[in-house]
Structures are given as C-alpha cells and as structure tokens.
Structure 1
Amino acid sequence: MRLLRSTDLALRVLMRLAVADGSSPTTRAVAESMDVPYTHAAKVVAELQHMGLLVARRGRGGGLALSEEGRTASVGAVVRAFEGDGDVVDCEGATPCPLHTGCRLRGALRRAQEAFFATLDPVTVQDMVAAPTGPLLLEISRAP
C-alpha cells in the first residue's frame, strides 16, 4: 500500500509541530523546511485545522501550533481521514472487472487495508516524535 502525498505531508506536519519547542512556525516555513510546495502544505494545514489537530493564527505573531487533540491523535485516524475508506482496487470503475460478482481478492484487500489501519490506530502523534525521532526532527528543522 502506498500513501498519498497529502497523507505523508500531513503526518510530517504533525510531527514537525509536535517538536516545535514553543515556536509557532508559519505554513510557509514548514513547507520550506520539508522542501514541499507551499500550496500543498497550505491545503494539508487547512485540512488538519478543520480536523481540530492544529491551530493556525494569522498576522503578526501568528503561525501554526499543534492542538492538544493533535498531540494525542491516532495516526490511524489521520491516515484514514486523508486516504479515505474506499477500496484498494476499483472493481467497478470505467471498465468493471468481469470477476466483480465472485471475486475474493477485493475482500482480502479490504481486510488487509483494515489491518494496516488497525496497526496504526494505537500510535499517536506524540509516539512518533519520541527519541530518537523528535530530537532529529528538531535538528533538521533548525538547519539553515
């Protein structure tokens, strides 16, 4: 299974903000530190804000901060929100699969997808930034 770029970016934004050490980086600063386009970061930040996982303040002294809910958020829930809960394969798309009425693969892939999410459910954002990741992430984000 491969995560969407927006899912990967959302997880990295949450991790970056989890180690922000009192600072409130802007969306632009976060995008630059992760070497991603600002527009992509802005879309992801808006969705994370809508989910209540981060707070964005505008203007002088503004920036991004992780909410308390963001610190304890389940990685599985974040991945589900960004990936959606659709099937891994599109059996009934523009060219429907001729096996769709009697295929066992679709169910097996669905169970595998749920197992993937279930593995991530108990992991929180705070867990992801425990040492050695958090200190390394802080060091990278401070680099010129």
Structure 2
Amino acid sequence: MLSQKCKYALQALLVLARENSDSLLLVSDIAAAENLPKKFLEAILLELNRNGLVRSRRGRGGGYALAKPADLITFGQVVRIMDGPLAPLSCVSVNYYRRCDDCRDEQSCEIRRVMRRVRDAIASELDGTSLADALAEGRPAALAIGQVAG
C-alpha cells in the first residue's frame, strides 16, 4: 500500500507536470490545487528536490518545477524515493535483498515464487508509467496525441 506521503508526492508531481517546465509554482498553489497540507507538502518537495525530481528557487519569483521532463519521471522512481522497495518481501527485493529469517530453502519457497511475480508485476507497471503517461491517460485520445480539435 502506498503511504500518504507517496500519494501526495505523486499528486504534487502531476500538478507540476501539467505546467510549463519553465514555470515555477508556489507550494501554496500546489497544495491548493490538490487540497494537500502545505507543511507536509513542503517536506515532500524538499525530499523530491534532494532526489533530483524537482528543482526549486527561493525568494521572489521562486517555487518548484520538475527537474526533468515528465516522460522521464516514473511512478516507480517516486514510490522508491518515498516508500522504499517495491517488493512485498525483502527476499524478493532487487535492491534491498535480505533473506527471510524463517526460510528453510529459498529455491523451493512457494511464497517467495508468488511474491517475486507480484514484485515483477508492480515494478513493470510503476516503472513503465511516467508522469506524462498518467496525464495522457486522462485526456481525450485526440488531445493526448497532440491533435487539435477543430
């Protein structure tokens, strides 16, 4: 299950992805757009900034914007930054592997086999979906491919 922190991060990134990459949005504007708690959102945006997904500028005319194009930021990246590994068990984690304390034989463990498939399915979906993909899914087909309705 995604944490509230991760969900807010995704919501904020999608708000930024809808904007022109040169535009900087204030935390208060992002929070208002998605009805998010401003103080919590500030901490989330700082973490996203430290991890290279958003850029910020302080002072007058400051705010936040995506640090790279929306098609290069995946849901998988965001979930890993906010919530850690995607794997439901540490013994099937690609980056954070740790053997289960009570496991007799990993190779024959039925639970591990199923959880590996679960991990692969989750990773495939999250790593294969960018912010741009998510935004395009919500648009009418003609607009999603750049056609102008006339």
Given the two structures, how large is their TM-score scaled by the length of structure 2?
0.69
Rounded Cα–Cα distance in structure 2 between residues aligned with 1:98 and 1:57: 47
2:43 corresponds to: 43
Query: Does residue 138 of structure 2 align to residue 132 of structure 1?
Result: yes
Given the two structures, how large is their TM-score scaled by the length of structure 1?
0.72
Check the 8 A contact 1:76/1:117 in 2, yes or no: yes
Q: Deviations over 1:22-44 (max 9, x none)?
A: 54221122122222212221121
| Aligned positions of 1:1-144 closer than 5 A | 2-21=1-20, 23-69=23-69, 71-85=71-85, 88=88, 100-101=103-104, 104-130=110-136, 132-133=138-139
Aligned length: 128
Q: Deviations over 1:115-136 (max 9, x none)?
A: 20112212211122226359xx
| Bigger Cα displacement from structure 2, 31-40 vs 68-77 | 68-77
- One-letter identity of the residue aligned with 1:16: V
Structure 1: runs of 5+ lacking an equivalent: 92-96, 135-144
Question: 1:114: Cα distance to partner?
Answer: 2.9
When the two chains are superposed, the root-mean-square deviation of aligned CA atoms in Å is 2.8
Q: Displaced runs of 4+ in structure 1, greater than 6 A?
A: none
Identity, % of aligned pairs? 30
1:64 alignment partner, SS class: strand
1:137 corresponds to: none
- One-letter identity of the residue aligned with 1:19: R
